[in-house]
Amino acid sequence: MFDVADLAGGTTCNMRTILITGCSSGIGLEAARSLKRRGGWRVFATCRSEQDCHARREEGLESFTLDYADQESIDAAMMEALSRCDGDLAAVFNNGAFALPGAVEDLSREALDAIFQVNLYGPHEVARHAVRAMRARGRGRIVNCSSAAGFTALPFGGAYTATKHAMEGLTDSMRIELRKTAIKVSLIEPGPIRGTSIYVKGRVQHERWIDSGRSVWREHYEEQMKPRLSSSDPARDPFERGMRAVMSQLIHALESPRPRARYFVTGTARLAWWFRFLLPTAVNDAMAARQFGPH
């Protein structure tokens, strides 16, 4: 790991600088575009592939590769970001992640390792790099994109749920540890958002890691889960909201002098949070099974 102290003495940027991950599509791309349009922010819109980075540069964004699954890529990307702004990194939005739908009993150790690398270990390494630089400057914001799955249990979503539960725990601990500094840490809890590709990409991951042909859940996978993952119906959740709802919460987390610990974007996320505390476990289990389980 490089030493951010070597970058801490240069000339600061005229604008606040933010590094955003997962900018190939969805929330990450919208965040990069929205903050650039808003002004006052210099945006590093990172993507896993160089092809996507090229597309971002073509539209006028600063972009370079950052692959959560590759430690060398993370180190190089953070060095690039800190070099470009003389160590004055104001914020990080850890957004990149993927879903891996499938029953827990069908998840191999290799499958879990793959999703934890991207959804937890990679964002954690980015945050560690950022905090070291922010300590040198005496300020900063870390915003991690979690999910309602970070505090609820979803059938056939155990892998994704496990990574987001872990992200919530790490983020909460970091926030408490940094409470006497000017480095603020927040979680975005989106819930169902229109325009993301997590469902379609989730089917790709399912077919890569789950041997559905040998699973006792084969019928459910083929008749219910896969068609649901392939659906583009924007009305599948009554509380689904558009990207702008995420952006308003992200901007508050980045710019408010008193950012909140958690930002619930949709009614689904907000209700899931309260149901967790107010309803018996058996009732929550029954509701989740009714919505996501076999019919």
Cα gap 202→165, rounded to integer Å = 18
Q: Is 160 a catalytic residue?
A: yes
Nearest to 207 by CA among 235, 229, 233, 187: 229
Tokens of 96: 């990149």
Nearest to 144 by CA among 173, 179, 115: 173
Catalytic residue among 68, 121, 160, 263: 160
Nearest to 120 by CA among 132, 112, 110: 112
Say how many C-beta atoms besides its own lie within 10 A of residue 63's C-beta: 24
With contact defined as beta carbons under 8 Å apart, do 74 and 125 qualify? yes
Query: 101 CB contacts (<8 Å, ≥6 apart)?
Result: 156, 157, 160, 202, 203, 205, 206, 210, 225, 229
Tokens of 281: 């476990």
Q: Which run of H or of E encompasses 42? A: strand 41-45
Say how many C-beta atoms besides its own lie within 10 A of residue 286's C-beta: 13
Tokens of 205: 């991951």
Collapsed DSSP state (helix, strand, coil) of residue 180: coil
Q: Which run of H or of E encompasses 172? A: helix 158-177
Q: Which run of H or of E encompasses 93? A: strand 91-94
Amino acid found at 157:
G
With contact defined as beta carbons under 8 Å apart, do 19 and 235 qualify? no
Residues annotated as part of the active site: 160
